[in-house]
């Protein structure tokens, strides 16, 4: 189904496809809580997730603009 609400409430397992390739298979809450990659994270759930680009340096998050 393309209805995410239906899939999240009724399914035991969900397969997330992207361009015909399997991105992740799992229980609805597993996909929501632990997405395998940015595509799954952006595709699953409402409201949509926000992404902040950056990296971890010595245990501190640093954004692409240099803010911590």
Burial of 35 (0-12, 13-18, 19+ CB in 10 A): buried
| Alpha-carbon Rg for the chain in angstroms | 15
pLDDT, tens digit, 9 for 90 and up, residues 14-61: 999 999 999 999 999 999 999 999 999 999 877 778 888 888 889 989
Rounded CA-CA distance 26/23 in Å is 10
pTM to 2 decimals?
A: 0.75
| H/E segment holding residue 23 | strand 21-26
Provide the 3-class DSSP secondary structure of residue 41: helix
Provide the 3-class DSSP secondary structure of residue 24: strand
């Amino acid at each position: 189904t393309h209805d995410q609400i239906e899939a999240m409430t009724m399914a035991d397992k969900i397969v997330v496809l992207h361009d015909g390739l399997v991105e992740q298979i799992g229980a609805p809450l597993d996909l929501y809580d632990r997405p395998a990659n940015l595509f799954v994270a952006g595709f699953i759930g409402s409201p949509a997730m926000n992404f902040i680009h950056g990296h971890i340096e010595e245990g501190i998050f640093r954004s692409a603009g240099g803010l911590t």
